[in-house]
Structure 1
Amino acid sequence: MPEITIEELKKHLDEVNLIDVREIEEFDQGHIEQARNIPLSTLEYQLDAFDPAKTYHVICRSGKRSARAGDILEQRGIKTVNVTGGMLAWEETVE
């Protein structure tokens, strides 16, 4: 699965389909405005929310859950890009 850094994501933020796979409580504490929350724990039940013709950028807190989510999606034919560093890296660039 391809990966992208936070810096690269910021350059193309308005052009990507960003999925935040953190739990709802984490998402509610702070998230990227353009992100849609689909928690990893419910991902397999929401696969119909994904269009196989599109590519999805997946983010979490540090990059581990998003990598797992990407594996799940790619096994079902959905193209993904993992955002390395996750929200921890995002918060470092915002402050």
Structure 2
Amino acid sequence: MNKISAKKLAKLMNDGEKLNVIDVREDAEVAMGKIPGATHIPLGQIPERVEELDKAKEYYLVCMSGGRSGKACQFLASQGYNVTNVTGGMMSWNGELE
């Protein structure tokens, strides 16, 4: 599984990279703030919403600490998607929030 640290992801975004971030946390967690521009798809909805994603794009998946996003990455990779898990998740995120 591809992995990237939250710190490195923040640097890429600060450098102007246009990245596809998917936040797999639950609604109450996302209400406390999410990475700017991130798409919110709770982990339990990934299988039913997988058609919203484009297999030609790369996605960075984030949760609170990296566990749920890791599970989402495993599932999506098995479906042929290009995904990277954000290790440390939002607990390690030091960038902006929206």
Q: Secondary structure at the match of 1:81?
A: strand
Partners in 1 of 2:11 and 2:37 — Cα distance? Answer: 13
Aligned to 2:85: 82
Higher-RCO chain (CA-CA 8 Å, sequence separation at least 6): 2
Conserved 8 A contact 2:7-2:92 = no
- CA distance in 1 between partners of 2:3 and 2:37 (Å): 18
* Distance in structure 2 (CA, Å) of the matches to 1:80 and 1:65: 13
Query: TM-score if structure 2 supplies the norm length?
Result: 0.89
Q: Which moved more, 1:49-58 or 1:5-14?
A: 5-14
Deviates more, 1:49-58 or 1:22-31: 22-31
* Uncovered stretches (5+) of structure 2, i.e. residues with no partner: none
- Tell me how far 1:15 sits from its aligned partner: 1.9
With structure 1 as the length reference, what TM-score do the two structures score? Answer: 0.91
- Runs of 4+ in structure 1 deviating by more than 2 angstroms, as ranges, are none
2:9 is aligned to: 9
Q: Among the aligned pairs, what percent are the same residue? A: 39
Query: Which of the pair is proportionally richer in helix?
Result: 1
How many Å separate the matches in 2 of 1:61 and 1:19? 12
Mapping of 1:16-27 within 5 angstroms?
Answer: 16-27=19-30
Question: How many residues get paired?
Answer: 92
Distance in structure 1 (CA, Å) of the matches to 2:53 and 2:45 = 13
